[in-house]
Structure 1
Amino acid sequence: MTTETTAPSRWTQQLTARVRAVDAARPWLWDGLLTLGWTTAALVDAAGGWRNVARDPSLPSGLIVLLSLALSLPLYARRRRPTTVLALMAPAALVSEASGAFLQAAFLQALPLFHIALTRPPRRLLGAFALLVPPVLVGGLRFDGDEWDQHVVPILWAYVIVALLGITVRSRRDHTASLVDRARRLEIERDQEVRLAAAAERARIAREMHDIIGHNLSVITGLADGGRYAAAKSPERAAQALDAIGTTSRQALDELRRLLGILSAPDDAPSTAARTPQPTLEDLEPLLEGVRKAGLPVAAELPAPLPPLPPGAQLTVYRVIQESLTNTLKHAGPGASATVRVAAAPDALLVTVTDTGTPSAAPGQGQGLTGMRERAALYDGTLDSGPLPDGAGWQVRLRIPTTPEEHRP
Structure 2
Amino acid sequence: MVVDSAWAAIVLFLGLLPDGGDNSAWRAPAQFVIALLIPLLMVFRRRYPDATVAAATALGIGQITLGILPAGSSIGYLVFAYTGAAFGSAWISRLALAAGLAAGPLTYWQLHLSKTVIDPNGDAQQRSYSLGEFLLLTAAMSSPFILCWAWGRLTRVRRAYLVELEDRAARLERERDAQAKVAVAAERARIARELHDVVAHNVSVMIVQADGAAYVLDNSPQQAKEALGTIASTGRQALVEMRRLLGVLRTADTAEEYVPQPGVEELPELLDQVRTAGLQVDFATSGDPRELPRGVELTVYRIVQEALTNVRKHGGPDVHARVAVDFGERELAVLIEDDGRGSTDEQLAAGGTDGQGHGLIGMRERVGMVSGSLDVGPRPGGGFRIRAVLPLKAAH
TM category (shorter chain) comes to 0.7 to 0.9
Q: TM-score normalised to the size of structure 2?
A: 0.78
Whether 2:112 is the aligned partner of 1:139: answer no
Q: Which residue of 2 aligns with 1:225?
A: 211
Q: Distance in 2 between matches of 1:178 and 1:39?
A: 37
Map 1:2-81; keep pairs closer than 5 Å: 27=1, 35=8, 38-42=11-15, 44-45=16-17, 48-49=18-19, 51=21, 60-69=27-36, 71-81=38-48
**Offset of residue 71 of structure 1:** 4.4
Aligned to 2:265: 282
Residue 318 (structure 1) aligns with: 301
Q: How far 1:104 moved relative to its partner?
A: 3.9
Indicate conservation of the 8 Å contact 2:197/2:302, yes or no. yes
Code of the aligned partner of 1:117: A
> Given the alignment, which residue of 339, 362, 369 partners 2:360?
369
Q: Percent identity?
A: 34
SS class of match (1:295): coil
Could you tell me how far apart the structure 1 residues matched to 2:254 and 2:198 are? 26
In structure 2, the residue matched to 1:159 is 145
Give the one of 42, 53, 57 matched to 1:90. Answer: 57
Question: In the TM superposition, what are the counterparts of 1:5-404 in structure 2 within 5 Å?
Answer: 27=1, 35=8, 38-42=11-15, 44-45=16-17, 48-49=18-19, 51=21, 60-69=27-36, 71-97=38-64, 99=67, 101-121=69-89, 124-141=92-109, 143=112, 145-146=129-130, 147-231=133-217, 237-259=223-245, 267=253, 278-362=261-345, 363=348, 365=353, 366-388=357-379, 392-403=382-393
Q: Is 1:328–1:355's contact at 8 Å kept on the other side of the alignment?
A: yes
- CA offset digits 1:303-343 (Å, max 9, x no partner): 25324320221011101100110111112111222122222
- Asked whether the 8 Å contact 1:97–1:136 carries over to 2, the reply is no
> Which residue identity is paired with 2:149?
A
Please list every run of 5 or more consecutive structure 2 residues that lacks an aligned counterpart in the other structure.
114-128
Aligned to 2:116: none
Q: Deviations over 1:18-54 (max 9, x none)?
A: xxxxxxxxx5x66666556534532x14xx3151xxx
Cα distance in 2, alignment partners of residues 319 and 239 from structure 1: 29
Work out the number of aligned pairs and report it.
366
Letter in 2 for 1:367: H
**Is the 1:281–1:306 contact (alpha carbons within 8 Å) kept by the matching residues of 2?**
no
Q: Secondary structure at the match of 1:49?
A: coil
Cα–Cα, structure 1 residues 158 and 249, in superposed 2: closer, same or farther, change >3 Å? Answer: same
Equivalence for 1:23 = none
Report how far residue 137 of structure 1 moved. 0.9
* TM-score normalised by length of structure 1: 0.76
Match for 1:380: what amino acid? Answer: S
State the distance in 2 between where 1:320 and 1:125 align.
70
Residue type of the partner of 1:322? Q
RMSD of aligned residue pairs (Cα, Å): 3.3
Q: 1:171 is matched by which residue type in structure 2?
A: V
What is the CA distance between 1:254 and its match in structure 2?
3.9
> By how many angstroms is 1:243 displaced?
4.2
CA distance in 1, matches of 2:248, 2:55: 75
1:284 and 1:83 map into 2 onto residues whose CA distance is: 79
What 5-or-longer segments of structure 1 have no aligned partner? Answer: 1-26, 405-409
Deviation string, structure 1 residues 227-263 (Cα, Å, up to 9, x no partner): 4444566555445434433443343344345445666
